[in-house]
């Protein structure tokens, strides 16, 4: 069974397809785009080993010339140096990479962001198809067209908005996903519940074990619900001038903690989990929600195997990082805070004291 979620951006509408085995349909999807002269698949080494042949075979079966460019696995590849290397490979292809060529991003968030930025900027932009292979990429990076590489000064500082032409989410790829990465993706799903859909939080609590066991049918349904939430937010506000910022729930202090801990020490979802607890704590401190909201946040995150406390945090260092976040404007710190389950609002007046109290809270035993 296949589920399709339309992303109705005017002039750049595309479908996200969620199903079992749909990597084998990649070639057909590319051929259906029309006029594609050739396809370059970008995948990290690990994912290329697992699924590269499936995708390449599918593209060849559709009669399209195909090339595979491998990048080293891991967040450390998401930089201008690797981006330049992919461009070098792209522009040495024979026959030459042209404007009708397409890029396929096969892998997790790093591959999607990097290959997407390549597609956004090679020949000033070519079409691309995203095939995410991690739960985090499935529910987060796969919708919205944000592409980027990191800079030493911060994550995702260099990038572009470039919507894909199609997204194929093959839930079978979750079978090979390391446990910790599965949990990292679940953190963004929890976030979706908190910002838009309280019933998703109920589903997570009711089916916690089945989700952690990656029960395929449940997972496909669950991913589709998450993609639909993200798609609705993105369609409302593509360029993040308004409510798309809600997706940053848990990410302000979360990013600060993640950068402080070092990106290799903590998964993104672990940081978001801590960030959601911290945001709930700030909101409770301001009287926006009650203490029970903080407790429920902690309970749901814990149930999904995510951390809600972290020892050794240095507030001053984290505060420095938060102040440099690219989402801040004119020196003020901005945070998305909960006002009820499934509902958040954006606050521009967050004080150092409020953030300090929240960071100290998650630093407690």
Query: What is the smallest separation between the CB atom of 100 and its own copies, expressed in angstroms?
Result: 5
Query: What is the smallest separation between the CB atom of 103 and its own copies, expressed in angstroms?
Result: 14
Half-sphere exposure of 55 (CA within 13 A, CB side): 32
In total, the chain counts a number of residues equal to: 365
Among candidates 94, 99, 92, which has minimal Cα distance to 37? 99
**Is 287 near its own copies (CB under 8 A)?**
no
Site for its own copies (CB under 8 A): which residue of 32, 123, 198, 206? 123
Are β-strands 39-44 and 66-71 bridged in parallel, bridged antiparallel, or unpaired? parallel
Select the span of 90-98, 250-258, 292-300, 356-364 touching its own copies (CB under 8 A).
90-98
What is the spatial distance between Cα 78 and Cα 107, in angstroms, rounded to a whole number? 13
151 is catalytic: no
Question: How many residues make contact with its own copies (CB under 8 A)?
Answer: 41
Map the footprint of its own copies across residues 298-337, applying CB under 8 A.
323-324, 326-331
Query: Would you say 32 or 206 has its CB closer to its own copies?
Result: 32
In Å, how far are 103, 188, 257, 338, 356 from 287, measured between CA atoms? 48, 25, 24, 11, 17
Query: Would you say 123 or 213 has its CB closer to its own copies?
Result: 123
179 CB neighbour count, 10 Å cutoff: 10
Query: Would you say 88 or 236 has its CB closer to its own copies?
Result: 88
55 CB neighbour count, 10 Å cutoff: 28
Query: Would you say 88 or 202 has its CB closer to its own copies?
Result: 88
Catalytic residue, candidates 251, 281, 310, 334: 251
Beta-bridge partner residues of 67 = 40
Query: Would you say 9 or 158 has its CB closer to its own copies?
Result: 158
Catalytic residue, candidates 188, 238, 270, 298: 188
Give DSSP secondary structure letters for 238-300: TTSSSGGGGGGTTTHHHHHHHHHH-TTTS-HHHHHHHHHHHHHHHHHHTTSS-HHHHHHHHHH
Select the span of 46-54, 133-141, 155-163, 245-253 touching its own copies (CB under 8 A).
155-163
Residues in contact with its own copies by the rule CB under 8 A: 37, 80, 83-84, 87-88, 91-92, 95-96, 98-100, 117, 120-125, 146-148, 151-154, 156-161, 323-324, 326-331
| Residues designated as active site | 124, 146, 188, 230, 240, 244, 248, 251, 255, 268
């Amino acid at each position: 069974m296949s589920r399709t979620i339309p992303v109705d951006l005017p002039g750049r509408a595309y479908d996200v397809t969620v199903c079992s085995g749909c990597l084998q349909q990649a070639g057909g999807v590319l051929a259906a785009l029309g006029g594609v002269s050739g396809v370059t698949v970008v995948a990290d080494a690990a994912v290329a080993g697992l699924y590269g042949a499936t995708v390449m075979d599918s593209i060849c079966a559709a009669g399209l010339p195909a090339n595979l460019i491998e990048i080293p696995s891991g967040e450390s590849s998401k930089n201008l140096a690797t981006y330049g290397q992919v461009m070098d490979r792209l522009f040495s292809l024979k026959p030459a990479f042209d404007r009708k060529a397409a890029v396929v991003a096969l892998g997790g968030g790093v591959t999607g962001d990097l290959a997407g930025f390549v597609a956004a900027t090679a020949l000033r932009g070519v079409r691309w198809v995203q095939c995410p292979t991690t739960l985090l990429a499935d529910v987060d990076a796969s919708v919205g067209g944000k592409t980027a590489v990191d800079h030493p000064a911060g994550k995702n500082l260099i990038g572009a908005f470039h919507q894909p032409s199609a997204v194929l989410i093959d839930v079978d790829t979750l079978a090979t996903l390391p446990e910790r990465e599965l949990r990292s993706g679940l953190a963004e799903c929890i976030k979706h519940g908190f910002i838009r859909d309280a019933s998703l939080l109920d589903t997570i609590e009711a089916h916690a074990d089945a989700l952690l066991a990656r029960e395929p049918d449940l997972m496909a349904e669950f991913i589709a619900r998450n993609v639909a939430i993200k798609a609705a937010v993105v369609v409302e506000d593509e360029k993040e001038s308004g409510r798309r910022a809600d997706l940053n729930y848990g990410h302000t202090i979360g990013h600060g903690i993640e950068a402080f801990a070092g990106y290799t020490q903590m998964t993104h979802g672990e940081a978001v989990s801590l960030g959601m607890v911290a945001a709930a704590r700030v909101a409770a401190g301001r009287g926006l929600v009650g203490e029970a909201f903080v407790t429920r946040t902690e309970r749901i995150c814990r149930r999904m195997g995510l951390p809600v406390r972290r020892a050794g945090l240095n507030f001053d260092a984290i505060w420095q990082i938060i102040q440099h976040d690219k989402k801040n404007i004119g020196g003020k710190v901005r945070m998305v805070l909960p006002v009820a389950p499934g509902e958040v609002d954006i606050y521009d007046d967050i004080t150092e004291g409020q953030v300090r109290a929240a960071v100290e809270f998650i630093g407690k035993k």
